C-alpha cells in the first residue's frame, strides 16, 4: 500500500501494533473489540508480543498515537476523537460549572438558614441549583 492510498484507522492501528510487536499482527476482530471496549484480549496480546520493557497498555497507547497521525495530504479515515474526549460521568457524580453561579450560591445560603442544616445539605442544595451541562455539539 503506498503512502498516498487512503487507509482506515484500523489498518493503521494494526500496522503500528505489528511494528511494535515484533512483526506479529493481532486480528482485525481483536483490534475492533478493543476499540469498541467489548474485549481486553488485545492488552494480553500486546503484553506477550511487545518489547519486554513495555506494558501491554503502553504498546497499545503508542499504536494509537501512530494510527492517529496518517500521511498528510491523503483523505484517510479518522476515528471519532470528539466522542472520546467527552468524559463519561460516573454514577453518583454530576457535572457542575467551574464558576459558581448566582443560583448555586443562593441555594447554599438559603439551605444554611434552615435549622439543623449541615454542610452536606447545603452542598446538596447547591448541586440541585447547578445548571445542566450543555449537550455536545454535533459536527456537520
- Structure confidence by residue, pLDDT tens digits, 59-98: 888 888 888 887 777 777 776 554 455 567 788 888 888 8
Kindly give the interhelix angle for 9-20 and 41-49, rounded to the nearest 10 degrees.
40
3-state secondary structure (DSSP) of residue 5:
coil
Answer yes or no: is 140 within a domain.
no
Please give the grid coordinates belonging to residue 41.
Answer: 484480549
47 and 93 co-located in one domain: no
Q: Which domain holds residue 57?
A: 9-85
102 and 125 co-located in one domain: yes
**Where would I find the beta strands (DSSP E) of 57-113?**
none
pTM: predicted TM-score of the whole model, two decimal places: 0.54
Q: Which of 48, 70, 85 is the last residue of a domain?
A: 85
Amino acid at each position: 500500500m503506498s503512502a498516498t492510498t487512503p487507509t482506515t484507522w484500523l489498518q493503521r492501528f494494526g500496522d503500528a501494533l505489528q511494528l511494535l510487536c515484533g512483526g506479529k499482527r493481532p486480528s482485525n476482530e481483536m483490534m475492533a473489540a478493543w476499540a469498541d471496549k467489548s474485549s481486553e484480549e488485545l492488552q494480553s496480546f500486546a503484553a506477550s508480543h511487545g518489547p519486554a520493557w513495555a506494558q501491554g497498555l503502553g504498546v497499545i497507547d503508542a499504536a494509537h498515537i501512530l494510527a492517529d497521525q496518517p500521511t498528510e495530504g491523503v483523505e484517510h479515515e479518522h476515528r471519532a476523537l470528539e466522542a472520546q474526549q467527552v468524559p463519561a460521568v460516573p454514577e453518583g457524580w454530576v457535572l457542575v460549572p467551574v464558576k459558581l453561579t448566582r443560583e448555586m450560591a443562593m441555594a447554599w445560603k438559603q439551605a444554611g438558614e434552615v435549622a439543623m442544616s449541615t454542610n452536606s445539605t447545603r452542598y446538596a442544595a447547591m448541586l440541585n441549583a447547578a445548571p445542566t451541562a450543555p449537550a455536545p455539539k454535533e459536527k456537520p
